[in-house]
Amino acid sequence: MLVAFSVAPSGTGRVDGSVHDAVAAAVRIVRESGLPNHTDSMFTTIEGDWPEVFEVIRRATEAVGEYGSRVSLVLKADIRPGFSGEMTGKIERLEQALGES
């Protein structure tokens, strides 16, 4: 499965409203997990099976919680049993389709 998630604290008390330190704490946990992952400006996507993916997301969410009084978590999942390597496979198929136009 692929899960794209965004996690951010609120109630940080920071005047500038920045959450980059909290997001860095979450991304660090994802990267240290060893699971395939990709972070862009809006989401971090992680690939694995249910238990391992959601354990990493739980730990990342708890890490962000240290930076504020509340946490916002957004998830989007692509559940396709029997498939792996889809983080890159989907992009490869898209690029191939674009080349055939």
Which pLDDT score, from 0 to 100, does residue 101 have?
60
Q: Is 9 helix (H, G, I), strand (E, B) or coil?
A: strand
Which pLDDT score, from 0 to 100, does residue 73 have?
98
Say if CB 57 and CB 29 are below 8 A apart: no
Residues 6+ apart with CB under 8 A from 20: none
- Nearest Cα neighbor of 75 from 91, 53, 92 is 53
pLDDT by position in tens, the chain (length 101):
999 999 999 888 777 878 899 999 999 999 999 999 999 999 999 999 999 999 999 999 999 999 999 999 999 999 999 999 999 999 999 999 999 86
